[in-house]
Amino acid sequence: MWTFVIRSVLQRLVLLVVISILAHSVVHLAPGEPSQVDPSNPRLKPEDIARIREAFRLDEPIHLQYAYWIHDLFTGELKSFRDDQPVLPKIWRRFLNSLPLFVCATLIVWTLAFPTGIAAAVRRGRAFDRGSTFLAYAMISTPGFFLAYVLILWVVDTFNVPVIGMRTFGMDAGSPVNYWMDRLWHLVIPSAISALGGIAVLSRYVRSQMLEVVGQDYVRTARAKGVAEDAVIYRHALRNALLPFVTMFGFLIPGLIGGSVIFETIFAWPGLGRLGYDAILGRDFPVILTLNFIAAVLTLAGTLVSDVLYAVVDPRIRYD
Amino acid sequence: MSAAPGHVVAEPAGGPLRASESPLQQAWRMLRRDRLAMAGLAVLALLAVAAGAGKVLTEWYVVFDPAAVRLPEKLRAPLSVADAERVAPEDLPALGIYLLGTDELGRDVFARMLQGSFVSLSIGFVAVGISVAIGILIGGLSGYYGNVKLGFITVDTLLMRFTDVMLSFPTFFLILTVVALLPPSIYNIMIVIGVTSWMGTARLVRGEFLSLREQDFVVAAQALGLPERRIIFRHMVPNAIAPVLVSATIGVASAILTESALSFLGFGVQPPDATWGNILADGRSFIFDAPWLFFVPGAAILVVVLAFNLLGEGLREALNPKLRSR
């Protein structure tokens, strides 16, 4: 087991180096530079551009730029091109904003997707199954922002609550109760709306996984010896159907960065996705690269955790 | 997929097998019983007609002009009759009616949707074509030549680690980065979506190839001394194509969604080219004044993507050999 863990960690470190080199090359070799963000600005003279390129070390050979980036990243001296702020604290602040949204949405997805998927599998072919299948496909097939806009209109009309941003301006002057209720409303509605797609996808997985397990011999045996249907479903079948979902924990984390751009834009939520989007618009290479690097670290760590967890929960799997 | 070799259905799992039926006919028989998938197929057939008509009627013989700007007639509701006094005769819409209304510049939404149907569909198909081609190439190489050593590393290890690298990028963020850095063009969007979405296909094809390589008909073909090219493309690829076809169908759907998400962020296909995605993205500013600008493209994307997804699921069931002879 430990040799497996050590070997995977080493393999992933190599992968990480390759990923960072690749990302660095893509960003630096693609046309478009920080000095060209505003080419129509008449006050930007050639000597200014030369000064900018000099300051950002854009004239160095690309492998040296890579070395500078890695060096600055690990010594914590990496500065954003746009406002000269250190990159890591900047990302950390945005991460703290994204985290509640992500946790809340994930909780909603997992608590709703499992009952739906199990119920659909148990009632295979009946009205509930067909209805939930169709609804799930409809949700997967709708452009995320289209669904979000329609739901925002409905929520605002029906409940008369604010949904955009993290808080209502000026609310901190009110009582703490009002303040926190306001924060909560601002959190719950974006989470619920961004959770819809996840619920649709995950409940499909749960359903097919349950159907697979329900057809197994040991479930038939349990039924044959007269175990109550609820116990068959929840004790014999569900436990085995859950195994693959342990591995999904690992794939959740990267969604923090990649999956949130659209919803953070819709809800004007100052999180990681927005940070990345603004960095891309402003050609802020250090922020783009560091975000990408962190996402890769999270993905690789996630797959490692899921591999290990899989061996922990499933006694049939042994890594030597 | 054409005329898949008969040896795929060596032993159907019980049930009578009609001797004269090819695997393709069986799959079709299965698919026909799936009402949702058939509905999807019908929608897609309609869409193909619309896309063809869109190309012909908005570019070659301009019956519906998507680019005609009629400022006096902006934000007219669907089915409203054009006012012949305020619009130049050559700018009048066909039949004199704005079937789906007009947008903020007085352009005919129906004409733009028609033009967009071709563009959106071709983005989906070209992107998936690229991703399937790369996926089959990488998956096939690593499945068939996996044991070949290149120095200290096998081909399989090399290619699969590369696949892992690509999987470790946050895909949408990567697409966004590249699209934002490259000059905006419809071809860049197709290529970027294709190049960042082949990993699933590569893994599928590799898995299929690994199991096919051991099977008797491939061993026999090798023993007969057939050229490797023929073994791979004539004997192995047709047998590995079924899961690829399923994931490609669903891939077209997600490429259309990705394009609309890019449009929403302002990185999509740039005007004057219309796609459903950018009509929808532009329409969101007029959601109260001109809801048709938002709901028409939204509903169109929903229906078409749903059709692709349902057809893909139907194909998955129909092409699954375990379920086939039921």
**Residue B102 pairs with which residues in a beta bridge?**
B108
Dist. CA B129–CA A136, nearest whole Å: 27
Dist. CA A151–CA B24, nearest whole Å: 43
Q: Which residues on B lie below 8 Å from A259 (Cβ)?
A: 170, 172
Please tell me the predicted confidence (pLDDT) of residue B191. 92
Question: For B165, which of A15, A257, A283 is closest by C-beta distance?
Answer: A15
Determine the residue among B153, B165, B172, B173 to mutate to test chain A binding: the one whose Cβ has the most chain A Cβ atoms within 10 Å: B173
Please tell me the predicted confidence (pLDDT) of residue B4. 45
Beta-carbon contacts below 8 Å between A and B = 118
Q: Provide the whole-model pTM.
A: 0.85
Using one digit for the tens of pLDDT, what is the confidence trace for A228-274?
Answer: 888 888 888 888 888 878 777 766 776 676 667 888 888 888 888 88
Q: Collapse the DSSP code of A86 into the 3-class scheme (helix H, G, I; strand E, B; otherwise coil) and give the result.
A: strand
Decide which of B6 and A104 is more confident. Answer: A104
Decide which of B195 and A318 is more confident. Answer: B195
Dihedrals phi, psi of A167, to nearest 5 degrees: -155, 160
Dist. CA A187–CA A99, nearest whole Å: 11
Please tell me the predicted confidence (pLDDT) of residue B9. 46
- Do the Cβ atoms of A258 and B171 come within 8 Å? yes
- Do the Cβ atoms of B302 and A143 come within 8 Å? yes
- Do the Cβ atoms of B165 and A146 come within 8 Å? no
Residue ranges of alpha helices (H) inside chain B are 23-32, 35-55, 109-144, 155-168, 171-181, 186-195, 199-213, 216-223, 228-230, 237-264, 276-283, 292-319
Please tell me the predicted confidence (pLDDT) of residue A39. 61
- Do the Cβ atoms of B302 and A146 come within 8 Å? yes
Residue partners of A9: CB distance under 8 A and separation at least 6: A304
CB burial class (10 A; 0-12, 13-18, 19+) of residue A130?
Answer: middle
- Do the Cβ atoms of B257 and A146 come within 8 Å? no
What are the DSSP E strand ranges found in A141-269?
none
**Residue B97 pairs with which residues in a beta bridge?**
B81
Using one digit for the tens of pLDDT, what is the confidence trace for B146-181?
Answer: 888 887 888 888 898 888 888 877 778 888 888 887
Q: What tokens were used for B48?
A: 């193909």
pLDDT at residue B17 tops 60:
no
Please tell me the predicted confidence (pLDDT) of residue A258. 62
Please tell me the predicted confidence (pLDDT) of residue A184. 86
Q: How confident is the prediction for chain A on average, in pLDDT?
A: 84
Determine the residue among A21, A145, A285 to mutate to test chain B binding: the one whose Cβ has the most chain B Cβ atoms within 10 Å: A145
In 3D, which of A101, A276, A77 has the Cα closest to residue B176? A276
Residue ranges of domains in chain A: 87-278
Q: What value does the mean pLDDT take over residues A187-201?
A: 88
Q: What value does the mean pLDDT take over residues B256-279?
A: 86
Q: Which residues on A lie below 8 Å from B169 (Cβ)?
A: 19, 23, 292, 295-296
- Do the Cβ atoms of A280 and B161 come within 8 Å? no
Please tell me the predicted confidence (pLDDT) of residue B19. 59
In 3D, which of A23, A95, A19 has the Cα closest to residue A256? A95
Dist. CA B192–CA B166, nearest whole Å: 13
- Range B23-27+32-59+109-324 has CATH code 3.40.190.10: no
- Do the Cβ atoms of A27 and B161 come within 8 Å? no
Q: Collapse the DSSP code of B153 into the 3-class scheme (helix H, G, I; strand E, B; otherwise coil) and give the result.
A: strand
Decide which of A204 and B23 is more confident. Answer: A204
Dist. CA A165–CA A271, nearest whole Å: 11
- Compare all CA atoms of chain B with the CA of A276 and give the residue at the minimum distance: B173
- Compare all CA atoms of chain B with the CA of A257 and give the residue at the minimum distance: B170
**Residue B98 pairs with which residues in a beta bridge?**
B80
Please measure the distance between the N-terminal and C-terminal CA atoms of chain B and give it in whole angstroms: 21
pLDDT at residue A59 tops 80:
no
Residue ranges of domains in chain B: 23-27+32-59+109-324
Chain B residues near any Cβ of chain A (below 8 Å): 36, 161, 164-165, 167-174, 176-178, 180-183, 253, 257, 260-261, 264-265, 277, 280-281, 284, 287, 294, 298, 301-302, 305-306, 308-310, 313
Determine the residue among B158, B179, B181 to mutate to test chain A binding: the one whose Cβ has the most chain A Cβ atoms within 10 Å: B181
What amino acid occupies position A259?
G
Dist. CA B241–CA A189, nearest whole Å: 43
Dist. CA B230–CA A287, nearest whole Å: 49
Query: CA dist A81 to B46, B118, B179, Å?
Result: 50, 41, 20
Question: For B261, which of A22, A144, A153 is closest by C-beta distance?
Answer: A144
Q: Which long-range contacts (CB under 8 A, 24 or more apart) does A65-71 make?
A: A65/A24, A65/A28, A66/A20, A66/A21, A66/A24, A69/A24, A69/A286, A69/A289, A70/A20
Q: Are strands B149-150 and B153-154 parallel, antiparallel or unpaired?
A: antiparallel
Mean pLDDT is lowest, of A72-81, A160-169, A200-209, for A160-169
**How far apart are the CA of A137 and the nearest CA of chain B, in angstroms?**
6
Determine the residue among A146, A156, A262, A281 to mutate to test chain B binding: the one whose Cβ has the most chain B Cβ atoms within 10 Å: A146
**How far apart are the CA of A319 and the nearest CA of chain B, in angstroms?**
18
Please tell me the predicted confidence (pLDDT) of residue B299. 93
pLDDT at residue A32 tops 70:
no
Please tell me the predicted confidence (pLDDT) of residue B3. 44
Decide which of A105 and A54 is more confident. Answer: A105
pLDDT at residue B253 tops 50:
yes
pLDDT at residue B243 tops 90:
no
- Do the Cβ atoms of A142 and B305 come within 8 Å? yes
Dihedrals phi, psi of B150, to nearest 5 degrees: -115, 95
Confidence class for position A111, pLDDT limits 50, 70, 90: very high
Residue partners of A301: CB distance under 8 A and separation at least 6: A12, A250, A253
Q: Which residues on B lie below 8 Å from A140 (Cβ)?
A: 305, 309
Answer left, alpha or beta for residue A125, where phi above 0 means left and psi between -120 and 50 means alpha.
left
Q: What tokens were used for B253?
A: 């759907």
Dist. CA B114–CA B126, nearest whole Å: 19
Q: Which residues on A lie below 8 Å from B305 (Cβ)?
A: 140-142
Using one digit for the tens of pLDDT, what is the confidence trace for A145-155?
Answer: 899 999 988 98
Cα angle: A37, vertex A276, B130; to 5 degrees: 90
- Tell me which DSSP letter residue A90 carries: H
Decide which of B193 and A163 is more confident. Answer: B193
Q: What percent of chain B has pLDDT over 90?
A: 23
Mean pLDDT is lowest, of A16-25, A168-177, B263-272, for A168-177
Confidence class for position B303, pLDDT limits 50, 70, 90: very high
- Range A87-278 has CATH code 1.10.3720.10: yes
Please tell me the predicted confidence (pLDDT) of residue B11. 46
- Tell me which DSSP letter residue B76 carries: P
Q: In this structure, what is the dihedral angle of CA atoms A246, A250, A252, A255, given to the nearest 10 degrees?
A: -170
Decide which of B90 and A38 is more confident. Answer: B90
Query: CA dist B45 to A196, B42, B154, Å?
Result: 29, 5, 45
